[in-house]
Chain A
Amino acid sequence: MAAPFEHSDNGVIVVIGTGAGGGVLANELAQRGVSVVALEAGGRYLPEDYVNDEWESFGQLAWLDPRTTSGDWRVSRDFSGLPAWIVKAVGGTTTHWAGASLRFQDHEWKAATNYGPVEGANLLDWPIDGAEMAPWYDKAEKKLGVTQTNDMPALPGCNNYKVFEAGAKSVGYENVHTGRMAINSEESDGRMACQQTGFCFQGCKWGAKWSAAYTDIPRGEATGNLEVRERAHVARILHDDAGKVTGVEYFDADGSLQMQAARAVCVAGNSIESPRMLLNSASSMFPDGLANASGQVGRNYMRHLTGSVYGVFDKPVRMWRGTTMAGIIQDEARHDPARGFVGGYELETLALGLPFMAAFLDPGSWGREFTTALDSYENMAGMWIVGEDMPQETNRITLNEGVKDQFGLPVADVHYTDHPNDVAMRNHAYGRGAAIYDAVGATRTLPTPPYPSTHNLGTNRMSENPRDGVVDKWGRAHDVPNLFVSDGSQFTTGAAENPTLTIVALAMRQADHIAGELSRGTL
């Protein structure tokens, strides 16, 4: 373990959050000899602690601090206090993620240019592109041990995948495979191979799935340059009269207010908490929130359009056996406006256990239409839709001054309403998902509404012009020279792909940039 740093040590970089963004950034900086204090709101859980029981694990790992919701999305009606299913723990949501590790397609970096004007959407091109990111994707895929990259073989297909693949091929899809997954198909990097146990969402008890909790975090700590403070809940980021950040106030595990000085601060608390921290750091110099001269902090909240399709068959599938996300169809990921919408979507298998299926299949529903579906649980196959949703200025994180968390801080309100493009894409995907299962004999298909968000994106977005976003192409705040954003909130647009690989690649690139700035004396 790292020797603790003094609270008054203003030479350290403070990283807030230890997930795919913050956890990787903290380790990559530590590997480069940079002193880092990582503040993590949650506790530390490792594979021996994970529980293969959906509700019990949810209670152990999920972020359950109060939040509110608004807007027309159904999550706001069905799960009004739970807009997102993300993790509060060392390693963040890398404990929970399914492992899908996909690169953006080149055109997705330039959505405004390639999609053209979309009414009501706040589309913008990223200030970076696929060529810029390619070497960082290479490094990220090596770090995560992604299947079908480098020397890592594909995972074998489980029952849920076999149904999915057979249906996909029957309807003419060609780009169907068991995915590019950050799950070891063979022993690698000191971690064992996948045992097809299921419960990927509850933390991998074998450690076969990559998580920062048992890779980057301990490796960073082993350098002596990284101190992770658990159960450290950030209240606000402080700055001086010159407008540079000077430290971070946080509540420690005992609920006492502490201050950690900092040479620079990197915010990586997820797209809900990161803008909340900036907004809660408003001051006389930054009356609308830190780094918010553009007014874009908290805006353009994206969550992928999502939705699921379950197929019921006359014979057993037993979809829960094996990796939770066991395969992908990529034929619909292209941009093809002839389908009636811009952007594209991925179809990925998904399995829920009986308890979560009951909770999420059709929330609020009851009676025999609902229960006869569950009666066929053993005969179900399932897939999840991951599609690019449109950034909208009015979909946003704001402070709900009327609701306070356990520390007396205003909670985040998560406001979301589907864009017509999102609705058109979801309906298209529901139709294709049903066709896939019908092609292999489904007796019933179930177009299932979105779950609480797991892909939270875009609320501190990257922009070339400071007027259009919160951070520059390095994730550095336009308004504050020693403040960085290091998580999915810097996404300019969401693309169709699961975001973790891109968050990791951006964090590795940012670490290299910050270390360079430090050595040049420019930070």
Chain B
Amino acid sequence: MMTTTSQQRGQQRGLTRRELLSRTMAAGASFVVGSGFVAANDAAWATEMNALKPDSFATLVQMARDIYPHDHVADEYYVVAVKGYDTPDAVDDIEAGIEMLNAAARDTGFDRYLDIGWERDRVAVLRGIEDSAFFQRIRGGLVTGLYNQKEVWPLFGYEGESYSEGGYINRGFDDINWL
């Protein structure tokens, strides 16, 4: 498990946030802009694709949000969390996993995962495949891929390291005022 973790982190180091075109509020599903280019339908995020099909990447982003949904965390962070799978080494397994996910969606009456409008219906599809290696790979990778992004921490109030500021001895280590 920890090996996967390190790999995952290593992959993300190659991605700069300049790859994301927009920082505006994100919402809703994503769509394919053109060949090898994916964007949210409100242009909240967009990224060039290296190996995965654009549709597949958009599905992966939606899947990531459905696994760890935080309504106050914009899509761009989920994009960063799964962008590491857009590599020649990973593409075959990921495309096969997405196909499995879409097949599971078809079994519940939808054309594909991205067409399912309600989170509860998407989660039901995910519950059906949660023991698969594909699901566990994506979920396990997100634990660090999403929550170990320093840019995400402030969205949860987490302040990270404080040594460089002298710790909290004079900066509120005991400032609780509601007890």
Contacts and interface: CB of A to CB of B under 8 A. Distances in A.
Contact of B176 (A52, A196, A317, A358): A317
B67 interface: yes
Contact of A355 (B67, B144, B174, B178): B144
B178 to A, nearest CB: 5
A175 interface: no
A80 B34 CA distance: 43
Interface in A361-381: 364, 366-368, 370-371, 374-375, 377-378
Nearest to B67: A366
Given A64-B2, A81-B2, A315 B178 contact: yes
A359 B143 contact: yes
Given A354-B153, A354-B158, A366 B70 contact: no
A156 B163 CA distance: 18
A171 to B, nearest CB: 15
A55 B2 CA distance: 10
A308 B72 CA distance: 27
Contact of A374 (B3, B156, B166, B178): B156
B28 interface: no
Interface in A154-171: 156-159, 162-163, 166
A157 B174 contact: yes
B112 interface: no
A366 B68 contact: yes
Interface residues of B, number: 41
B169 A195 contact: yes
A159 B2 contact: no
Contacts of A316: 157, 176
A194 B162 CA distance: 13
Contacts of B173: 156, 158-159, 196, 321-322
Nearest to B65: A371
A205 interface: yes
Contacts of B159: 318, 320-321
Interface in B1-28: 1-3, 5-6, 9
B109 interface: no
Contacts of B161: 52-53, 199
B169 A320 contact: no
A73 to B, nearest CB: 15
Contacts of A19: none
B10 to A, nearest CB: 10
A197 interface: yes
A357 B123 CA distance: 23
Nearest to B172: A321
A195 B9 contact: no
A59 interface: yes
Nearest to A314: B178
Nearest to A360: B143
A507 to B, nearest CB: 30
Given A55-B5, A81-B2, A367 B69 contact: yes
B100 to A, nearest CB: 17
B67 A367 contact: yes
Given A55-B148, A79-B1, A366-B67, A197 B158 contact: no
A82 interface: yes
Given A163-B179, A354-B147, A354-B153, A322 B1 contact: no
Interface in A285-320: 315-318, 320
Contacts of B171: 321
Contacts of A158: 168, 173-174
B139 interface: yes
B89 interface: no
B168 A322 contact: yes
B117 interface: no
Nearest to B152: A354
Interface string A66-104: 000000000000011110000000000000000000000
Contacts of A81: 1-3
Contact of B6 (A59, A194, A322, A367): A59
A162 B143 contact: no
A367 B163 contact: no
Contacts of B6: 59
Centre residue among B123, B169, B173 by max chain A CB count within 10 A = B173
A199 B168 contact: no
A53 B149 CA distance: 11
Contact of A82 (B2, B130, B147): B2
A295 B156 CA distance: 51
Centre residue among B3, B139, B143, B166 by max chain A CB count within 10 A = B143
11 contacts: A52-B160, A54-B148, A79-B1, A157-B174, A197-B163, A197-B166, A318-B176, A321-B159, A354-B156, A355-B148, A377-B158
Interface of B: 1-3, 5-6, 9, 67-70, 72, 123, 130, 139, 143-144, 146-148, 152-153, 156-163, 166-169, 171-176, 178-179
Given A158-B168, A318-B159, A358-B143, 9 more contacts: A52-B160, A52-B163, A79-B1, A158-B173, A197-B163, A205-B163, A318-B176, A322-B174, A354-B147
Interface of A: 52-55, 58-59, 64, 79-82, 156-159, 162-163, 166, 194-199, 205-206, 315-318, 320-322, 353-355, 357-359, 364, 366-368, 370-371, 374-375, 377-378, 440
Closest 9 CB pairs of A and B: A378-B157, A195-B167, A197-B167, A52-B161, A358-B147, A196-B173, A322-B173, A354-B158, A321-B168
